[in-house]
Amino acid sequence: QAVPAGSHVRLNLQTGEREAKLADSENGRGDTREERRRKRLGKVDLDSNSFTSQELKKALAKMKESEKAERKVSKESALFLMQCSMQ
């Protein structure tokens, strides 16, 4: 069976068969940056009408930590690209 270009393919060493990862979303693309971020932050109970202050503090701390990590990776990537272009 044909595998779409750009798909992730692996060889199953036990069976010898090629396995392709199917696209996760309806439009045929993988997860967007926002979808990955939501998964990383965890599920939120949207049916709940109220949250305790402790729940809100934990959620805010987790969001800040995640954004800080994303900024660090982005900054490191930019520095790496600058160093590569200077050589």
The beta strand positions in the chain, using DSSP E, are: 9-11, 18-20
Question: Sign of dihedral through CA atoms 74, 78, 79, 80?
Answer: positive
Closest CA to 65 of 40, 28, 47, 30: 40
Structure confidence at residue 6 (pLDDT): 75
**pLDDT range class, residue 86, cuts 50, 70, 90:** confident
* Model confidence pLDDT, tens digit, residues 14-25: 888 888 876 655
Alpha carbons 58 and 53: distance in angstroms, whole number: 9
pTM to 2 decimals? 0.34
pLDDT in tens, 24-79: 555 555 566 666 666 665 555 555 567 788 888 888 998 988 888 888 888 888 88
Q: Helix %, strand %, coil % for the chain, to 5?
A: 50, 5, 45
